[in-house]
Amino acid sequence: QVQLVESGGGLVQPGGSLRLSCAASTTIFDITSMGWYRQAPGKQRELVARISSGGDTNYADSLKGRFTISRDNAKNTVYLEMNNLKPEDTAVYYCNLRNTRNYWGQGTQVTVSS
C-alpha cells in the first residue's frame, strides 16, 4: 500500500510556527488533491486545508490567514505552514492524498504550549 509520511510536528510555544511536510512513499499518479486534517483529543477529525493538483486551495474558515498549504505535484509532497499557533491547534495532524483512492498518513503530533 501507499504510505504517506508526515514530518515537522513537535512542541512549540503559542505564537510560534511550524512547517509540516508529507511525502508519499512511492510515485502516485493522477493526484486530484492533497490536504491536511487534524484531530484533537475528544474531537472529530476536521479539515484543515486542501489543495488541488491545479493549485486551488480551501481552508477551514477559522484557520484562514494563519495556515498556508502548498504542494509539489512532481514530488507528491504537500506542506502546511502554520503561524501564530494557539493551544487549541494542539492535535494530531494527518496528511491526505487523493487520486481515484484516498490515502492517509499516520499523523504527526503538534503540541502548542507555554
* H helix or E strand, kind and range, residue 30: none
Burial class (CB in 10 A: 0-12, 13-18, 19+), 26: exposed
pLDDT for residue 3: 87
CA distance 100 to 106: 20
Q: Which three cell numbers stand for residue 77?
A: 509532497
- Residue in the block written with cell 472529530: 44
Could you list the pLDDT tens digit for every one of the 114 residues in the chain?
678 999 999 999 999 999 999 998 888 888 899 999 999 999 999 999 999 988 999 999 989 899 999 998 778 899 999 999 999 999 999 999 999 999 999 999 999 999
CA distance 111 to 64: 19
CA-based torsion, 56, 58, 59, 64: positive or negative: positive
Helix (H, G, I), strand (E, B) or coil at 13: coil
